[in-house]
Amino acid sequence: MNYFLDALQRYADFTGRARRKEYWMFVLFYLIFYIGAAILDGLLGTVFITLIYSLGLLIPSIAIAARRLHDTGRSGWWQLIALIPLIGAIVLLVFLVLDSTEDNQHGPNPKAVPAA
C-alpha cells in the first residue's frame, strides 16, 4: 500500500527512477481499487465512479511508468509505443519487466546498496 501512496504523493513527478517492485505494486493496488469501484458502479447502476477513478489516476500512472522506463535506461516517451496495436503493448510490457540498469542519466541505481 505504501508504494501506491508514494506514487500518489509523486503525482506528476516524471523524473527519477522507480524499481520493478514499486511499479508493479502500484499496478496491483490500482487494479484492486478499480475492481472495487467497478463493483460499486455495478451495484449502483452507474459508470461515473470508475470513470472518475481512472481519470484521477491517469497522470500518476503515466508518471510511474515513465520512472520505471527511466530505471531500464529508456525515456518515458517509450510509453507511446503502446499505441501500435498488439505489438506495441507487448514491447512496452517487456520494457517494464526488465531489470534495473546501472547508474544512468536519470539517476543512480535504486537497487545499489549505499556505502557504509
Locate all alpha helices (DSSP H) within the chain, ordered by sequence.
2-9, 20-44, 48-56, 58-71, 87-97
Give the pTM.
0.87
DSSP-assigned states of every residue in 54-74: HHHTHHHHHHHHHHHHHHTT-
pLDDT, tens only, 54-84: 999 999 999 999 999 999 989 999 999 999 9
Q: What is the mean pLDDT of residues 39-49?
A: 94
Angstrom distance (rounded) from CA 114 to CA 94: 28
Tally of CA atoms within 13 A in the half-sphere of 15 that contains its CB: 2
